Structure formats: C-alpha cells, structure tokens
C-alpha cells in the first residue's frame, strides 16, 4: 500500500521510480492481486497515468485491462476505470499536457500512429469488440458511457474493420440502437456520435439502422431539441440522417414511404422575426437543407426523385422553402443553400415548376420570384455563390419544361413586351450585353437553357429585334451576338456567346441559314480557328470550330454561297481538316469541361473558372463525332446522305401524316367513348327510372289484387249462397223446405192465436156467467144441484183448455226460437234477405274491434321492446363491470407474477451473496485471517444468553 501511496502522490522516502517502472509495477499488481480493492486502485492509477504515459500504458497494460473486462464484470467501478484507460490509450483526442516544443511538433503524427496501432492490437481478437458490445448493454452509467466512447474511438481509427466485426456479431447493431432510447442525454448524444461513425460508407449497416426505427427516433430527438433552434445535438442527428440517406436508394424509399418527409416541414418555419440567427441555427438549417437535397438529388434514380418531389409539394415543404426564399433578413449562405434546394425540388417536376412560376415576391407591385432572382444574377454586386445558385435555379426551372421555356422566350418577342414592368427576357438581354463578363456568361447560359431541345422556340427567337442606339435600325438578337463576338471581348463573354449560338443553331436549319446569311460570320470563324493563339484562346478556337461544324452539319444548302461542299472546301484551304479536328478536340480535353460534365449544379471555385455548362457538355459529346465525320465526307457521300435524308424526311412526313390520322382517330375514339359513357349513364338512369316504375306498378297491382280479393269476398257473399251453405253443411233444397215449414208454422201460429183468442173470449164469458151464478145462488136454492154439476163440467173443460193453451204456447215459443235462428242464418248467408245497413254496421263494428285489437297488440309490442331495451342496458352495464373486474383480475395476476419474479430474483441474489461470502471466508482462512462462521457466532450468542440467565437465577 505504501507503493500505491507513492503513485497516487503521497509522501515517500527515497528516490522516485520512473513512469515506465511505475506502470510495470501497477500492471503486476493488476495481474497478481487477489483483492478486488487492490486491483481497482491499480487500474485507477493506470487511468491517471494513461494520458501522460500513453505509449507505456498501451504497451504494458492493454492485455491486463482486457483481462479485467473479462473477469471483473461484477464490479462496475473497476470496469469503468479500465474502459477509460483504454479510451485514453486509443483515442487521439488528447487533452493538452505540458510538453516541450520539440515534442509538440511531432505530436500529431505520433498520435495518429499510436491510435491506429493500439486499435489494431485491440481488434485483433474479435472477442474484444464483442465483449465491448455486451458492456455497452449495461445500464450502469460508469460502464455504458466509457464503453460508448471507446467504441466510437475504435470506429474512428479502424472504421471498416470494426464495422465488419459489429456486422457479423449477433444483434450487434440492434444493441447500439438502444442507446438512442437512453434517458440520460449524455449517453444518448454520444450514441448518436457512435452511430455516425458506424454508418459511414457501409450500406448494409445503414439499412439495418434505418429498419431499426432510426428515422423515428432521430426526428423525435430533433423535435424535442427545438428543430433548427436546437443545439449541437440537432447537428449530430442531421449528420447521422445524411449518412443513412445519401446514395442509399433503399433508405430513401423507406424514408418517403414512412411519411417522414412531412415531418421535415416544421424545420423551416423560421417565422417573421429573422433577426436572431445564431451560428448553431445557421449550421442546423444548412444541414436540414442539405438533407432535403439528398432526397431529390439529380444523381438519384429518376423515379425516386420524382416521388420525393411530389411528396414535398403535397405536404407544403416546397411552399415553406419559397417563403424563406422571399423572406428578408435571411443570412446569405442560408439564402444560397435555399435557392439550391428549391432548384432541385422543382427540377424536372412539372407540378413544382408551375407552382414556382406562380410565386411572387412581397414587393409593391408584386413581381414574380423568377424575375427577382434574375435581377440578383445579373447584378455584379451580389456574391458569386449566390449568382451561381440563381443560375442553377433558373436552369432547373427550365429543365424538361417546355411551358416555362415558352413563357421566357415570349417575354422577348415584340408582341408581348410590356414597357411598364421588367420581364425575364429583358433582364437576360441586359445581362447578355452588359460590361460584366460574368453577367454575360450567366445570361447566355440561361438563354441557351430556354432553347434546349425546343426547335420551335429557336425559330421564334430569330424574330427578336434589339434597338442598339437612337437613330440606327434595330438589329436581330442573333446578329448582335455575332457582333459582340467579332469585337473581341473577354474570353468568358465569348465562351458564353459561342455556347448560346451552338445551342441555338444545333438541330435548327433555319437558324443556320440566318447565321450564314451574314457574310462576316464565316470569315470571322475561319480566321479565329486558323490563328495560332495562346492557351487561353484555344478554348475559343475549339468553340468556333464547333459552331462552324454545326453550320455544316445542319446546313440545308438553301444559300448557294454557303453550301456544305463549299464550306468544307473553305476549311480545307484556310484551316486544314486535321487542324480543324484538332482545334475541335480542345473542348473535351479542357480541365474545366471535365469538371462541368460531372454534375448539373454549376460549382466553381472562382468566377474565372466559370466556362462550361453541364448541358452544353452533353451537346459537345453528341456533336463532336458527327461533325468530324461530316468534315471528311465527300460530295458524293453528302449527296447520298441528302438523298437518304430526303427519303427519311418523306418517311417522316408519311409517319407524321399517319400520326396525325391516328391522333385524329384517337380524338374521335375519345369523343365516341365520351358519348358511350354519357349514353351508358343515361341508360343507367333510364333503367333506374324503369325499375322504379316497375316497382310502383307492382305495388299498384298488389293493391288492386287486395281490393279485388276484398270485392270478391263481398260478391261471393252476395252471389253464392250455395258455397256458404255448403261450408255450413246445408243444401239449397233444405233451405227451401225450411222456408216452407216456416210458412206452415207461421200459419199454424196464426190459427192457434185465433183459437187462443176464441178460448179467451169463452173464458171471459164463463167468468161473467160464474159471477152471475154467484149472485143468483141465494135467490134460487132449488136449482142448486143442477148448477153445480154444470159448473164442474165447465171447470174441467176450462182446465183442459188451459193445459192445451200452455202446450200450444210452448210449441209457439219453440217455433219462435227456430224462426229467430233461421232469420240469423238467413241474414248472415243471404245478403238479399238481410238488410244492407245492418251489414255495414256489422262490418264497421268488426273493423273497430280489429283496430282496437291491433292497437292493443302494438302497445304490448312497444312495452315488450322497452322492456327488452332495459334488459339490454342492464346486460351491457353488467358486461362492462365484468370486463373491468377481469382487467383488475389480470392486473392483480400480473402484479403477483412480478412480485414472484422479484422474490425469485432476490433469492438468486441472496444465494449468490452467500456463495461469494463463503468464498471470501475460505480465502481469508487460507490467508490466515481468523474468521468466525455464523453458526459459531450464533452458538456463542446463545452461550452468553445462558450464562446471563444463570447469573439472574443465582441473584
């Protein structure tokens, strides 16, 4: 321990050991110490010496430190010290130490060599990198953070080798992706830096990282940090996104399909107050614009670029960029990059180009954005990079945009010139003939792009007339360009004008005729080509040779003095064919030509290097070979070629005629298809109306049948007595017999009533005679016996009459009952016998009863449905309570399972601790240290308690 005190700065006696000796002793202590504390102190000491004695620590301690990482993983502190020490040894990002001047001069080279050498030693065993990946998975801050830094340093030193090891490691990339989800910002931010190094120039790892949801996490981090207002973390995330997307078509497609382009729009919402532009915000916004350009780069596949351009328009990203473009107070570099970004977003996309043409600058009166940008391009006081960006924007606006080309050229034509406002054509002409050579070149190239692959506009541009000075007649634009050429202006101006003329005359025989019609043009060109000038003029000579070759190749021989053959003879006499071809080859051999041919964007280090345009290099590559062949062709070959051209023109005319016929037929077919569509739609409407009418007719038929059935029932009751009686089991003959019997019974009834009336009169007479007998009984005693006998006879006869009357009355009542029954049957079966009013009354009564019963049934149904609804609500409430109870039950079960799992983990931890304690006790016993077991301690405690108990008993 005295030795460690000496290393850590404590007081010590005797001579101090050197750094190498100290490091060697510390390494021995790490290797041989059995106590973890001693090893930890030794590793801590190595860490403190690793910056000053980097080479010695790396040579002597690396193997021991790797062994510590393998064996002492249970102690996070010693692991953290070991990782920090390895990082100090391998990393080149050293802190400034006190060193001599001679050492500081050789430091960078030594640092680079040491870092790469130690990295090679570390990754020689792939298990070391795999071990480091497992340590990075640890949640402990003192382990995870140094592991992330060490792995980043390894990737910086030996990127491809470490990438390959991580790629073949199981779940290697996925483990590192978890760093982005760490809640500790330090680890998350260093994880972003690690992924930056991991994804450099490795498409396979880029794809894995992208499909591990990297885009979502990185965009969330950028949003959390405040988008463009964020700090350096946003910058790191943007650099990582560029690594994932640049030149990786799969990831670009995944980014677009995942709707992540829509999430880029808030990045460019800079607001109206653009005063506070910090350096970090400028950097962030610059990287954001570059990221947009990565998605729509011209080097990407055309289909992918087009889909990204459309997505940016639909989500409003292009509109947001145009807002920044027209805003005030935007820094110059951000404005330049925004112009370049808008350029590539609209390049070759008709929808975006149309929108850009409609954008107006916030000026009074409002001016189109194109006009405002062209003003900056032809203004020599504007920065060079800004003028290049505007030129690129104008080129992208006209790329594959015939509509835009026509609008630009139309502003030059006499019929459309507006004297009150500045147009794009006027600005281009002003720049073309200004005193600034850079403005001349930019305007010439811009005008050449307005004519690119558009023969119609090349012919229309021949109509443009320019007023050179007061009193002089106007001069054509073509003539003015050749006049400036002959005046011998700057090389840059002449190169721009020659490129414009070559583009104008190519594939346009009428323009060639106009050019040759000026007698001074051909002598000027031959004179320029024939002279032996310096290197600067060789480029102009090559372009003059190209222009003369175009005049020969696209010559229609309409001018007798400048036919193809005569021009060739002129070249042969004045220049020489070999010399002409050599001068023509100067163009493609020039260094600036090769630079311009690489990419569409004009990027030049200085204005003097601005000589060639990208589209013009394509034209040179296309025409150089055919012009060389045309120069060496004889007149006979030219005649044959002309004949072939004529036949081809005839064929082309025939083809165009048939194309026209086919186009007309297509139009007729389209019209017929439209008529068919309209007729089919009308037919469908008529069919729909027919079906409606058929359904209505069917409903009327059903109603008619119902009425007919009801009327049939009435007529059936009215006309068919036989059917009704057959239904009741009675025949028509029986009915007639019953009628006759009824009549007989009626007659008998009348006779009996008459007899009854007679008997009643006899009874009345007898009663009156009886009264008379009573009065005369007292006066006449003599005739008493005879009167009594007569009276008895009368009484008997009276009783007989009474019984007979009762029998007859009973029989009459029976007959009356039968008569009533027959009448009821008659009225129900025969409407003729019954009364119509009674039938109607009966029917109305029946209908009323039916309606009442229907109402009662409806009310019952309604009550049942309400009861059903209430039951259903009750069932739903009970089911919801059951679901809640089930959720609570599942939660409780989950909590029980988690608690069981925690108990199991605690038991395992306790078992591990017991094992470690027992192992440490054994080691201590081996070292001779007295150690008491728990059993001995417990037995000792029990003995002490027994002794105390005995003493108390004695007391």
- The chain-wide mean pLDDT, for the chain, equals 81
Q: Is the Cβ–Cβ distance between 135 and 128 less than 8 Å?
A: no
CA angle, 251 then 252 then 256, to 5° = 115
Q: What is the Cα–Cα distance from 51 to 181, expressed in whole angstroms?
A: 32
Q: What does the pLDDT average to over 436-456?
A: 94
Q: What is the Cα–Cα distance from 364 to 857, expressed in whole angstroms?
A: 81
Q: What does the pLDDT average to over 606-615?
A: 91
> In which element (H, E) is residue 377 found?
helix 369-377
Q: What is the Cα–Cα distance from 270 to 698, expressed in whole angstroms?
A: 70
How confident is the model at residue 802, as a pLDDT?
A: 63
Q: Is the Cβ–Cβ distance between 129 and 123 less than 8 Å?
A: yes
Residue 782 has pLDDT above 70, yes or no: no
Least-confidence region, from 646-660, 709-723, 867-881: 709-723
What are the tokens at 216? 């979502």
Q: What is the Cα–Cα distance from 493 to 438, expressed in whole angstroms?
A: 7
- The share of the chain scoring above pLDDT 90, in percent, equals 43
As to burial, measured by CB atoms within 10 angstroms (0-12 exposed, 13-18 middle, 19+ buried), residue 807 is exposed
Band of pLDDT at residue 536, cut at 50, 70 and 90 = confident
Which CA distances in Å does 267 have to 284, 296, 765, 846?
Answer: 9, 17, 137, 83
Placement of tokens 């016929």 in the chain: 661
Least-confidence region, from 258-267, 507-516, 611-620, 624-633: 624-633
Least-confidence region, from 76-85, 671-680, 849-858: 849-858
Please list the residues that pair with 360 across neighbouring strands: 368
Residue 326 has pLDDT above 80, yes or no: yes
Q: What is the DSSP letter of 53?
A: T
How confident is the model at residue 3, as a pLDDT?
A: 41
Q: What does the pLDDT average to over 896-909?
A: 80
Least-confidence region, from 38-47, 158-167, 401-410, 713-722: 713-722
Q: What does the pLDDT average to over 8-14?
A: 46
How confident is the model at residue 826, as a pLDDT?
A: 47
Q: Is the Cβ–Cβ distance between 27 and 45 less than 8 Å?
A: no
Q: What is the Cα–Cα distance from 745 to 742, expressed in whole angstroms?
A: 5
Higher pLDDT, 780 or 485: 485
* pLDDT, tens only, 750-764: 776 776 677 667 666
How confident is the model at residue 295, as a pLDDT?
A: 96
Q: Is the Cβ–Cβ distance between 620 and 545 less than 8 Å?
A: no
* pLDDT, tens only, 359-400: 998 878 888 999 999 999 999 999 999 999 999 999 999 999
How confident is the model at residue 776, as a pLDDT?
A: 41
> In which element (H, E) is residue 718 found?
helix 635-719
Q: What does the pLDDT average to over 884-888?
A: 79
Please list the residues that pair with 277 across neighbouring strands: none
Which CA distances in Å does 628 have to 379, 495, 503, 587, 632?
Answer: 40, 21, 18, 14, 7
Higher pLDDT, 232 or 898: 232
Q: What is the Cα–Cα distance from 227 to 647, expressed in whole angstroms?
A: 65
Q: What does the pLDDT average to over 13-23?
A: 70
How confident is the model at residue 859, as a pLDDT?
A: 74
Q: What is the Cα–Cα distance from 251 to 237, expressed in whole angstroms?
A: 16
Higher pLDDT, 307 or 801: 307
How confident is the model at residue 773, as a pLDDT?
A: 44
How confident is the model at residue 832, as a pLDDT?
A: 38
Q: Is the Cβ–Cβ distance between 233 and 221 less than 8 Å?
A: yes
How confident is the model at residue 20, as a pLDDT?
A: 82
What's the half-sphere exposure (Cβ side, CA atoms, 13 Å) at 609?
Answer: 14
Q: What is the Cα–Cα distance from 654 to 660, expressed in whole angstroms?
A: 10
CA angle, 928 then 3 then 69, to 5° = 75
| Helices 491-505 and 437-450: angle between axes, nearest 10 degrees | 10
**Cis upstream peptide for 365 (omega within 30°):** yes
How confident is the model at residue 547, as a pLDDT?
A: 95
* pLDDT, tens only, 496-508: 999 999 999 999 9
How confident is the model at residue 784, as a pLDDT?
A: 38
Please list the residues that pair with 476 across neighbouring strands: 465
SS3 418: coil
Residue 121 has pLDDT above 80, yes or no: yes
Name which of 369, 499, 384, 383 is nearest 432 in CA terms. Answer: 499
How confident is the model at residue 895, as a pLDDT?
A: 80
Please list the residues that pair with 465 across neighbouring strands: 476
> Going by DSSP bridges, is the β-strand pair 367-368/360-361 parallel, antiparallel, or unpaired?
antiparallel
Highest mean pLDDT among 570-579, 769-778, 923-932: 570-579
Radius of gyration of the chain (CA): 59
Name which of 388, 770, 776, 810 is nearest 609 in CA terms. Answer: 388
How confident is the model at residue 683, as a pLDDT?
A: 87
Higher pLDDT, 707 or 598: 598
CA angle, 911 then 912 then 913, to 5° = 90
Name which of 189, 65, 85 is nearest 146 in CA terms. Answer: 85
What are the tokens at 920? 């440490």
Q: What is the Cα–Cα distance from 85 to 51, expressed in whole angstroms?
A: 8
CA angle, 25 then 29 then 34, to 5° = 165
* Largest interatomic CA distance in the chain: 205
Residue 679 has pLDDT above 50, yes or no: yes
How confident is the model at residue 932, as a pLDDT?
A: 64
How confident is the model at residue 819, as a pLDDT?
A: 56
Band of pLDDT at residue 171, cut at 50, 70 and 90 = confident
Euclidean distance between the first and the last CA atom of the chain, given in angstroms as a whole number: 53
Q: What does the pLDDT average to over 480-502?
A: 91
Residue 737 has pLDDT above 70, yes or no: no
Q: What does the pLDDT average to over 826-850?
A: 52
Band of pLDDT at residue 725, cut at 50, 70 and 90 = very low
How confident is the model at residue 888, as a pLDDT?
A: 78
> In which element (H, E) is residue 593 found?
helix 591-596
How confident is the model at residue 478, as a pLDDT?
A: 93
Residue 953 has pLDDT above 50, yes or no: no
Q: What is the Cα–Cα distance from 382 to 384, expressed in whole angstroms?
A: 6
Residue 316 has pLDDT above 50, yes or no: yes
What's the half-sphere exposure (Cβ side, CA atoms, 13 Å) at 153?
Answer: 29
Name which of 510, 377, 371, 395 is nearest 448 in CA terms. Answer: 395
How confident is the model at residue 222, as a pLDDT?
A: 95
Q: Give alpha helix (H) positions in 378-506.
A: 384-398, 402-410, 424-432, 437-450, 455-461, 477-486, 491-505
Band of pLDDT at residue 111, cut at 50, 70 and 90 = low
Placement of tokens 């109402």 in the chain: 855
Residue 931 has pLDDT above 90, yes or no: no
Please list the residues that pair with 361 across neighbouring strands: 367
Residue 821 has pLDDT above 50, yes or no: yes
Band of pLDDT at residue 718, cut at 50, 70 and 90 = low
Q: Is the Cβ–Cβ distance between 396 and 445 less than 8 Å?
A: no
How confident is the model at residue 813, as a pLDDT?
A: 64
Name which of 487, 365, 494, 405 is nearest 441 in CA terms. Answer: 494
- Can you spell out the DSSP letters for 281-336? HHHHHHHHHHHHHHHT-TTS-HHHHHHHHHHHHHTTHHHHHHHHHH-SS--HHHHH
How confident is the model at residue 15, as a pLDDT?
A: 57
Least-confidence region, from 240-249, 644-653, 758-767: 758-767
* pLDDT, tens only, 251-310: 999 999 999 999 999 999 876 555 578 899 999 999 999 999 999 999 999 999 999 999
Residue 940 has pLDDT above 60, yes or no: no
Q: What does the pLDDT average to over 891-908?
A: 80
* pLDDT, tens only, 37-71: 999 999 999 999 988 888 888 888 999 999 999 99
Q: What is the Cα–Cα distance from 837 to 844, expressed in whole angstroms?
A: 11
How confident is the model at residue 265, as a pLDDT?
A: 93
Cβ count within 10 A of residue 83: 28
Per-position b or e across 534-557, b if 16+ CB within 10 A of its CB? eeebbbbbbbbbbbbbbbbbbbee
Band of pLDDT at residue 716, cut at 50, 70 and 90 = low
Least-confidence region, from 590-594, 624-628, 732-736: 732-736
- The share of the chain scoring above pLDDT 70, in percent, equals 76
Residue 914 has pLDDT above 90, yes or no: no
Numbers of helices and strands, H then E, in the chain: 42, 4
Highest mean pLDDT among 6-10, 551-555, 652-656, 829-833: 551-555
């Amino acid at each position: 321990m005295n030795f460690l005190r000496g290393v850590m700065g404590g007081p010590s006696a005797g001579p101090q050991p050197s750094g190498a000796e100290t490091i060697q002793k510390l390494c021995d202590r790490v290797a041989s110490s059995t106590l973890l504390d001693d090893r930890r102190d030794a590793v801590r000491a190595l860490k403190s010496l690793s910056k000053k004695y980097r080479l010695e620590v790396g040579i002597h301690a690396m193997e021991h430190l790797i062994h510590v990482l393998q064996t002492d993983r249970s102690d996070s502190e010693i692991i953290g010290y070991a990782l920090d020490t390895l990082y100090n040894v391998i990393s080149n990002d050293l802190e400034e130490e006190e060193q001599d001047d001679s050492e500081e001069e050789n430091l960078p080279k030594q640092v680079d060599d040491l870092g790469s050498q130690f990295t090679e030693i570390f990754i020689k065993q792939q298990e070391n990198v795999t071990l480091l990946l497992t340590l990075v998975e640890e949640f402990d801050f003192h382990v995870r953070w140094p592991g992330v830094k060490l792995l980043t340093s390894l990737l910086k030193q030996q990127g491809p080798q470490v990438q390959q090891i991580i790629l073949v490691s199981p779940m290697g990339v996925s483990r590192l992706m978890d760093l982005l989800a760490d809640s500790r910002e330090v680890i998350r931010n260093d994880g972003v830096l690690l992924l930056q190094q991991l994804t450099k120039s490795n498409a396979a790892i880029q794809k894995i990282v992208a499909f591990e949801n990297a885009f979502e996490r990185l965009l969330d981090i950028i949003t959390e940090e405040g988008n463009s207002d964020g700090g350096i973390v946003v910058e790191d995330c943007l650099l990582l996104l560029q690594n994932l997307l640049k030149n990786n078509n799969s990831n670009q497609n995944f980014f677009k399909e995942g709707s992540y382009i829509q999430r880029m729009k808030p990045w460019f919402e800079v607001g109206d107050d653009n005063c506070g532009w910090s350096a970090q915000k400028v950097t962030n916004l610059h990287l954001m614009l570059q990221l947009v350009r990565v998605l729509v780069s011209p080097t990407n596949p055309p289909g992918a670029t087009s889909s990204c351009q459309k997505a940016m328009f639909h989500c409003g990203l292009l509109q947001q960029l145009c807002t920044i473009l027209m805003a005030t107070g935007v820094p110059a570099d951000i404005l330049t990059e925004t112009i370049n970004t808008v350029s590539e977003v609209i390049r070759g996309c008709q929808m975006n180009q149309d929108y850009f043409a409609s954008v107006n600058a916030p000026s009074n009166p409002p001016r189109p954005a194109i006009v405002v940008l062209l003003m900056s391009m032809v203004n020599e006081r504007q920065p060079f990079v800004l003028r290049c960006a505007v030129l690129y924007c104008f080129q992208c606006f006209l790329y594959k945009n015939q509509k835009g080309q026509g609008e630009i050229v139309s502003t030059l034509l006499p019929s459309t010139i507006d004297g009150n406002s500045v147009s794009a054509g006027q600005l281009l002409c002003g720049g073309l003939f200004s005193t600034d050579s850079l403005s001349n070149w930019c305007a010439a190239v811009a005008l050449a792009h307005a004519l690119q692959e558009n023969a119609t506009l090349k012919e229309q541009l021949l109509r443009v007339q320019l007023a050179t000075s007061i009193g002089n007649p106007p001069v054509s634009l073509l003539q003015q360009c050749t006049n400036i050429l002959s005046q011998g202006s700057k090389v840059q101006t002449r190169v721009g004008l020659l490129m414009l003329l070559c583009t104008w005359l190519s594939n346009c025989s009428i323009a060639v005729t106009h050019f040759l019609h000026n007698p001074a043009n051909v002598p000027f060109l031959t004179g320029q080509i024939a002279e032996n000038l310096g290197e600067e003029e060789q480029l102009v000579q090559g372009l003059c040779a190209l222009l003369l070759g175009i005049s020969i190749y696209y010559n229609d021989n309409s001018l007798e003095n400048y036919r193809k053959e005569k021009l060739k003879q002129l070249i042969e006499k004045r220049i020489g064919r070999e010399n002409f071809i050599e001068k023509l080859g100067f163009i493609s051999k020039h260094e600036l030509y090769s630079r311009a041919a690489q990419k569409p964007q004009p990027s030049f280090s200085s204005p003097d290097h601005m000589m060639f345009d990208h589209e013009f290099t394509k034209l040179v590559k296309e025409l150089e070979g055919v012009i060389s062949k045309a120069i060496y062709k004889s007149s006979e070959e030219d005649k044959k070629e002309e004949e072939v051209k004529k036949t081809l023109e005839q064929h082309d005319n025939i083809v165009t005629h048939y194309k026209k016929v086919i186009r007309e037929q297509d139009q007729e077919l389209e019209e017929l298809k439209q008529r068919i569509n309209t007729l089919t739609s009308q037919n469908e409407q008529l069919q729909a109306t027919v079906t409606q009418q058929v359904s209505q007719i069917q409903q009327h038929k059903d109603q008619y049948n119902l009425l007919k059935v009801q009327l049939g029932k009435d007529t059936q009751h009215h006309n068919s007595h036989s059917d009704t009686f057959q239904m009741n089991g009675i025949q028509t003959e029986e009915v007639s017999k019953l009628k006759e019997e009824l009549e007989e019974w009626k007659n008998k009834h009348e006779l009996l009533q008459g007899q009854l009336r007679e008997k009643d009169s006899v009874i009345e007479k007898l009663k009156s005679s009886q009264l008379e007998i009573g009065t005369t009984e007292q006066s006449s005693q003599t005739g008493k016996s005879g009167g009594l006998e007569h009276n008895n006879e009368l009484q008997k006869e009276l009783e007989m009459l009474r019984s007979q009357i009762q029998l007859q009355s009973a029989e009459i009542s029976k007959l009356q009952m039968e008569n009533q029954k027959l009448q009821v049957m008659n009225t129900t079966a025969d409407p003729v016998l019954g009364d119509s009013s009674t039938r109607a009354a009966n029917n109305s009564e029946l209908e009323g009863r039916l309606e009442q019963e229907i109402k009662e049934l409806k009310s019952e149904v309604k009550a049942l449905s309400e009861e059903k609804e209430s039951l259903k609500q009750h069932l739903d409430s009970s089911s919801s309570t059951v679901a809640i109870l089930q959720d609570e039950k599942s939660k409780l079960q989950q909590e029980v399972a988690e608690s069981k799992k925690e108990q199991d983990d605690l038991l395992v931890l306790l078992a591990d601790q017991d094992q470690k304690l027992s192992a440490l006790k054994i080691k201590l016993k081996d070292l001779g240290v007295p150690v008491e077991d728990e059993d001995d301690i417990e037995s000792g405690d029990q003995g002490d308690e027994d002794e105390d108990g005995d003493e108390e008993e004695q007391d």
